[in-house]
Structure 1
Amino acid sequence: MFSFFDRSEIDIVRYTPKKGNAHSTVLTPRDFADAAKEIKAWNNYTPTPLLRLTSLASELNVKDILYKDEGPRFGLGSFKALGGAYAALKILRREIDKKQTAIGLAGGVTLEDVREGRFAKEASNITLVSATDGNHGRSLAWGCHRFGAPCRIYIHAEVSEGRATAMRKLGATVIRIKGDYDASVRLARLEAEKNGWFVVSDTSWEGYTDPPRDVMAGYGVMVGEIAENLKMPPTHVFLQGGVGGLAASVCAAFRQYWGDSCPRVIIVEPDRAACLFESAKAGETKTVKIERETVMAGLSCGEPSDMAWSILKEEAQDFMTITDEVVVPTLRLLKSPVGTDPVVEAGESAVAGLAATILASRREELRDALEMDGNSVIVVVGSEGITDPAVHAELMKEADHA
């Protein structure tokens, strides 16, 4: 069953976190609480499942594996639904409030006012933009559609047409560029500055921190749902990398919830886009050039978020890379599960943490290094469902003929 995983390559950097309080100052308890209050008031909010992969855990000789399935989130197929739309709402409230005050009207515009369409005319004159590999842009497009704001999404050459179509159906103007994800981020920033638009990004840079903070605060809703389902903290959490926003949010929220009892954090990235792995090796943020796109499209990021790194450098203990070849076997393992485990239909970026869990648990030296044993309770974030059925089907078909 696991012979393929046993042959696959894996790399790891053992990292000594730098003690600090970024977990509560970069993302404060108030940030998380405000986001949770707002998002839980949205129509059709419901917690996503926290699935127990008990049979798989037994096969891997650990106590439990908990899979947070974000596929059902708001019908958008991804945890990103929690971030982009919330950050968009915060920007719209701020800008509408400024304009109301500037023309001598009473300020005090609330998130509820914008959410309920009380300033629909004003929102229609505020354009929001972002770059995306797919899921973040879909969340922003969905939020703009709900709140009545124009939306422009920049995608790179390798983003599938299916993901572009999903954003267009939500009313977004989609602009495809020839470069990679990081090039699309730069273009979105440039055109926003030229035209007086507002960037809603999940990555931060110098002078740009509020929207990425709001995006990460939104992700805290997911973390709260995990924590509220557990009587005791897990021992390990394997987290996808990307620019680092998801991982940093989970780290900060777990630290705030469990203090010194929070789980050991292992960051997992594709070896083709390992900017956090390289940052851990260097002890500072490092940008990597993506020579070839990974099938884990949502993790194809060459430049870390400065804000995310400020948290990860204090909380993460290990950084791992995995190869693309483990993606399909992990997808199949979820779709045709071990024993009595539930069936899960996951997207390509969803399985990085679970794949790394399997790889590490079957290598004695890694088990020892990560302090994994029969008492380990491991959390992984299934960050997306099948967000592009055509890409997913083609990937599975190619693997069958490999």
Structure 2
Amino acid sequence: MFLTNTHPDHNAPLEPVDADTLGIAAAESVELFLTHRDNHAETPLRSLPAMASELGIGALHVKDEGYRLGLGSFKALGGSYAVIRLVLEEASRQLGGNIDIAELHAPRVKAVAAGMTMACATDGNHGRSVAQGAELVGAKAAIFVHAGVSDERVAAIGRFGAQMIRVEGTYDDSVREAARVATEKGWTIVSDTSWSGYERIPGLVMQGYTAMVREFLRQVSEPPTHVFVQAGVGGIAAAVAGHLSIALAEKRPVFVVVDPARAACIVETARAGHPVKIAHGEPTVMAMLECYEPSLVAWRILSRVADAFIAVDDEDAISVMNRLARPSGNDPAIVAGESGGAGLAGLIRAVADPEIRAALGLNATSRVLVINTEGATDPKRYTELVGIAPEEVGAAIAK
């Protein structure tokens, strides 16, 4: 499945609210918040010249989010940031005045946080981020997980003291249940997907993701000509594409959204020209991207700044995991989880098809960015699929 963006809004300016959410000032605010995190460090940018040569492009960079804030996923930037923002806003409301990040651990702010419960649904990584943020500020967390979330991922969230709630069905079922229970109990819903009447908090989550784009632009001498980013509900793709469109303006790269073929809600939304819910079929190995209904805010942004949409098979994702663990030439090894390498899988599929390659303008001078959105967040599953334990690959990276 490959589609170019034919939406009437393609290349139109972002809506003012989205431009504010994903703009330069907002990204600077996120980075300021990160300076107050004990384990904050910029994630590495990996250059893969051997693979670039194999693919017939000029340069290939991988922003490696497997090192983000001790959670092994880009999601660490979004959920915890939104939690912190929401606590400071509630503290400002209850205490009067503007309470800023410097007072986050003040006793009076902690007292406000203690009365708050942050709730969300998750495939694994977003829930860890929300739970970590809640623990950091002294709030409670209630995390809803669907039947397909592995016990290992549930345990990883539970380590932050969150209440874990199992829900029958899919991720989308858990989103609805989390919203229902949170509304009933007066909890704060910190979702990474949006729906009618619920947009601001998912916008804050997306805003958190802009930090990695800021880092990347500092780490390269020339901006990319092409960017391939995986979707899920669309949040990360929209955040990256939206911020790049603001930061680089007319020099923005060609942006390609990558979906799992078994959960291609963004591709099908692009085909329909409006948000659609797709049928639940066989689960995809790309568990963090297994979503069947797009975020309304994400689609509003992507309809304007995404240039094309492509779907990849499970076999493509597994092949990328193995290829990054056993690199060519002097390329560095990279630990990519089941969903982490989906953007690269999209690039590989695109360059292999002459028509897609031509449609995207991929050639020997192209500078391509992909994002490894997660490391081995389920080490057992990673080892099953790659045949090497993640720590063994990690040891090769350290050499």
TM interval, shorter chain, is: over 0.9
CA distance, structure 1, for counterparts of residue 250 and residue 126 of structure 2: 31
| Deviations 1:222-265, CA, capped at 9 Å, x for gaps | 00011111222211000101111101110111111111101100
**Residue deviations 1:275-294 (CA, integer Å, cap 9, x gap):** 11011111111111221211
Aligned CA-pair RMSD: 1.5
Residue of structure 2 in register with 1:211 after alignment = 201
Task: Give the equivalent residue in structure 2 for 1:241.
Answer: 231
The yes-or-no answer on 1:42 pairing with 2:43 is no
Q: Please tell me whether residue 30 in structure 1 is matched to residue 20 in structure 2.
A: no
In structure 2, relative to structure 1, the CA distance for the partners of 1:133 and 1:118 (3 Å cut) is: same
Task: Report the 3-state secondary structure (helix = DSSP H, G, I; strand = E; otherwise coil) of the residue aligned with 2:243.
Answer: helix
1:60 corresponds to: 55
Question: Counterpart of 1:349 in 2: which secondary structure?
Answer: coil
Alignment of 1:252-331 (within 5 A): 252-331=242-321
Aligned to 2:14: 21
CA drift at 1:97: 2.3
Kept after mapping to 1: 8 A contact 2:20/2:26: no
> Superposed, which structure 2 residues align to 1:102-141 within 5 Å?
106-115=96-105, 118-141=108-131
Residue 99 in structure 1 maps to residue 94 in structure 2: yes
Shift of 1:111: 2.7
CA distance in structure 1 between the partners assigned to 2:168 and 2:278 by the alignment: 18
| Counterpart Cα distance in 2 of 1:313 and 1:267 | 11
Normalised by the size of structure 2, how large is the TM-score? 0.93
Percent of residue pairs bearing the same amino acid type:
40
Q: 1:130: Cα distance to partner?
A: 0.3
Secondary structure, counterpart of 2:341 in structure 1:
helix
**Distance between the aligned counterparts of 2:210 and 2:174, measured in 1?**
26
> Which of 27-36 and 76-85 deviates more?
27-36
- Cα 1:125–1:334, aligned 2, differ >3 Å: closer, same or farther? same
Give the aligned residue type for 1:291: G
Q: How many residues align?
A: 383
> CA 1:145–1:117 in 2, change beyond 3 Å: closer, same or farther?
farther
Q: What's the CA shift string for 1:27-56, capped at 9, x where partnerless? A: 333322211211233212110001001000
C-alpha separation in 2, matches of 1:121 and 1:115: 10
Aligned to 1:359: 349
Distance 1:286 1:193 in 2: 25
Q: Which residue of 2 aligns with 1:69?
A: 64
**The one of 155, 168, 173 aligned to 2:163:** 173
Partner of 1:152: 142
| Offset, 1:369 | 1.4
Query: Per-residue displacement from partner, 1:98-128 (whole Å, max 9, x unpaired)?
Result: 222xxxxx43222332245552222111111
Instruction: Give 1:183 deviation, angstroms.
Output: 0.5
With over 3 angstroms needed to count, the CA separation of the structure-2 counterparts of 1:310 and 1:247, relative to structure 1, is same
Structure 2 match to 1:88:
83
> TM-score under structure 1 normalisation?
0.92
Cα distance between partner residues in 2 of 1:373 and 1:204: 37
Please, which moves more after superposition, 45-54 or 354-363? 354-363
SS at match of 1:179: coil
Deviations, residues 331-372 of structure 1 (Å, cap 9, x unaligned): 111010011000111101111111111121122222111110
Q: Take 1:344 and 1:95, find their aligned partners in 2: how far apart are those partners?
A: 40
**Cα pair 1:150 1:172 within 8 Å, conserved:** yes
> 1:95–1:50: structure 2 CA closer, same or farther, 3 Å change rule?
same
Alpha-carbon distance in structure 2 between the residues aligned to 1:262 and 1:138: 32
Question: 2 CA distance for matches of 1:85 and 1:392?
Answer: 25
SS at match of 1:250: helix
The answer to whether the 8 A contact 1:26-1:307 is kept is no
Any idea what SS the aligned residue of 2:46 has? Answer: strand
Q: Tell me the residue number matched to 2:212.
A: 222
Q: 1:188 aligns with which of 169, 178, 183?
A: 178
- Asked if 2 retains the 8 angstrom alpha-carbon contact of 1:160 and 1:391, the reply is no
1:368 and 1:52 mapped to 2: Cα distance?
24
1:319-398 matches, cutoff 5 A: 319-396=309-386
Change (3 A) 1:140 1:327: same
